[in-house]
Amino acid sequence: QEAYREMWENLNLDIAAHDGLLGVLGKFYGDIYMSQQGRLKGMEYLDFVLSEVHGLRIKELQDAKAQGRKIIGTFCVFVPEELALALDAVQVGLCAGADAGKEAAETLVPRNTCALIKSFIGFKLARLCPYTESCDLIVGETTCDGKKKAYEAFAEHAPMFVMEVPQTKSPAARALWKEEMLRYMARLEDLTGKKVTAEKLAEAIKTVNARRRALQRLNRLRAAVPTPISGRDVLLINQVSFYDDPVRFTASVNTLCDQLEERIKAGEGVAPKDAPRLMLSGCPMAVPNWKLPYVIESSGAVIVGEESCIGTRNTRDLVDESAGTLEEMLDALADRYMKIDCACFTPNDERLENVEAMASDLKVDGVIQYALMFCQPYAHEGIKVEKRLTAAGIPSMSLETDYSMEDVEQLKTRVEAFLETV
């Protein structure tokens, strides 16, 4: 840690508070991750990345900046990483999964704002996140009301660009989204002093698709009975996918998948064959939000799928790689991103279909719907999802929580009661 102190000081972090954060994070990680039995060798890479999350990766970002590359921060899977990569920029998903700087955040946004929003504001105001401080541009999006209003306030503290994400899937909405992508591309070209070319964009599309394919492969393999990897580990892999170098990350996930294949061949699992198989569905679990998966898996169940943006919503759809011209590629990108079934869309029937299909493909015993407190879009859709699952004969339950640890025991009681019924 000492080796990085100067870098953190240069980023103007609050060093004492940051030391405290790393201490808590290290302990939390030890309890939730390192305590697991029978982990795969390939997870050592993830452990390493996580242990260096504020160290080596930040150093890499600083080195990239020294070479003139720009750092782009995001909070939503709607922001097309392909455009940043095509301009040699580095895109990182900013952490929004811990209760840090909450009091400060509540001076900018109302108290009844979801924990994810308060978290990214808190990290900024309390000067705790070296990623946020490394960014040349932070890209917001008009998804839920909480986020879009929060970005107005956040823009007073950070260099922001907000993309207008439509709320329906009509042809007019698709046209608006394409325009917004072009507006964003122009902003990025201005920032980097470069132009997106067909060649560079094709390469970027391949890079991001390769990462999606590796994660799809992981999701197919974990569906085996018994499941060869814990849900906690897969969540971590998805979380790391947002800030690690995409090419290196993809190679590591594929290596891990090779190990999973061997494990499956040998019939080995991380949990007994008859352990209840659950799927999570709903709000994204941003790093280091590991509370609910820990509660679920320490109750004897195993998580075999996450229907969320830090899960299959981010990896399910690929960009069509057959486009030849720049214009065709931009259309292919726009089409792919418009398939995202975020609860901010109305209507959003495709999500109901996707949740049901995923639950039956994975042969789950039940679905736990997860909503962050004060999240209107996912709480509303939770009612519809539950009806749909009930009609399909799939047990489900809904949990609302935030990032505090106060309700751990209560969550455990509810999860255990649910497990009795599946």
Q: Which residues make up the interface to ligand BJ8 (CB under 6 A)?
A: 76-78, 114, 116-117, 143-144, 146-147, 283-284, 309, 340, 342, 344, 372, 375, 377-378
Q: Which is nearer to ligand BJ8, 330 or 372 (CB)?
A: 372
Q: Work out how close the CB of 384 gets to ligand BJ8 at its nearest, in angstroms, rounded to a whole number.
A: 16
Would you say 54 and 132 are in contact if contact means Cβ atoms under 8 Å apart?
no
Task: In angstroms, give the least distance from the CB of 334 to ligand BJ8.
Answer: 15
End-to-end CA distance of the chain: 46
Q: How many CB atoms lie within 10 A of CB 170?
A: 10
What is the spatial distance between Cα 166 and Cα 175, in angstroms, rounded to a whole number?
10
Q: Judged by CB, which is closer to ligand BJ8: 33, or 75?
A: 75
Helix (H) or strand (E) holding 17: helix 15-29
Distance CA 231, CA 222 (A): 9
Comparing CB distances to ligand BJ8, the nearer of 143 and 227 is 143
Q: What share of the chain is helix, strand, coil (3-state, %, to 5)?
A: 55, 10, 35
33: CB partners within 8 A, 6+ apart: 47, 50, 232, 233, 236, 290
Q: Which of 309/411 has CB closer to ligand BJ8?
A: 309
Please report how close the Cβ of residue 62 comes to ligand BJ8 at its closest, in angstroms.
27
Count of residues making up the chain: 422
Tell me how far, at minimum, the Cβ of 270 lies from ligand BJ8, in Å: 28
* Nearest distance in Å: CB 242, ligand BJ8: 10
* Shortest Å distance, C-beta 76 to ligand BJ8: 3
Shortest distance in whole angstroms from residue 146 CB to ligand BJ8: 4
Is residue 138 within 8 Å of residue 159, measured between CB atoms?
yes
Cα 165 from Cα 187, distance rounded (Å): 16
C-beta closer to ligand BJ8: residue 260 or 286: 286
Whichever of 343 and 359 has its CB closer to ligand BJ8, that residue is: 343
Q: How far is CA 144 from the centre of its chain?
A: 16
Region for residue 364 given its phi and psi (left: phi exceeds 0; alpha: psi -120 to 50; beta: otherwise)? beta
279/283 with CB nearer ligand BJ8: 283
Nearer to ligand BJ8, 147 or 336 (CB): 147
Nearer to ligand BJ8, 383 or 417 (CB): 383
Q: Return the closest-CA partner of residue 142 out of 118, 122, 168, 162.
A: 162
Question: Measuring CA to CA, how many Å separate 400 from each of 210, 359, 378?
Answer: 34, 20, 10
Residue among 22 and 163 whose Cβ is closer to ligand BJ8: 163
Cα(305)–Cα(312) distance, integer angstroms: 8
CA angle 343, 216, 115 (to 5 degrees): 35
**Could you tell me the strand order of the sheet in which 396-401 lies?**
302-307, 277-282, 366-372, 396-401
